[in-house]
Amino acid sequence: MSTKKMLVRLRGASQEKATLWVGRNGLNPKLASEASERLDQRELLKIKVQKSVSQPVPEIARVLAESLKAYVVDIRGRSFVLYRQKRDWEAGPKHT
């Protein structure tokens, strides 16, 4: 994540449409599970928080990122972007 190209890609994710919404129920296990699945597929996930949610957006982003072992890339208004490096489940350990 330290290369300039990767940082530009991560910051550019703010321009994408939100792929997951936090509704009036706020953070819950089902939302965290869905977010984890989507991060496994794409590495980047843009999440939008509805106005009916009483928790502050930065707090939601921080708590969700910690629970998913992801990074908060950007927070803008009621949206935030999470990044987690893709896991290569099928490859298994490499033998040398």
- On whether residue 64 sits in a domain, the answer given is yes
User: Can you tell me the distance from the alpha carbon of 13 to that of 58, in angstroms, rounded to the nearest whole number?
Assistant: 17
Q: Are the C-beta atoms of residues 82 and 38 closer than 8 Å to each other?
A: no
pLDDT given at position 53? 92
- On whether residue 92 sits in a domain, the answer given is no
User: Can you tell me the distance from the alpha carbon of 63 to that of 38, in angstroms, rounded to the nearest whole number?
Assistant: 17
pLDDT given at position 74? 87
Alpha helices in 24-82 (DSSP H): 29-42, 57-68
Q: Are the C-beta atoms of residues 82 and 72 closer than 8 Å to each other?
A: yes
The per-residue pLDDT for range 28-86, each reduced to its tens digit, is: 999 999 999 999 988 889 999 999 999 999 999 999 999 999 999 889 999 999 999 87
pLDDT given at position 35? 94
- On whether residue 69 sits in a domain, the answer given is yes
State the residue range of the domain holding 71.
4-83
pLDDT band for 20, please (50, 70, 90 cuts). very high
Instruction: Count the domains in the chain.
Output: 1
13 residue type, one letter? A
* CATH code, 43: 3.30.110.60
- On whether residue 41 sits in a domain, the answer given is yes
- On whether residue 74 sits in a domain, the answer given is yes
- On whether residue 63 sits in a domain, the answer given is yes
pTM of the full predicted structure? 0.77
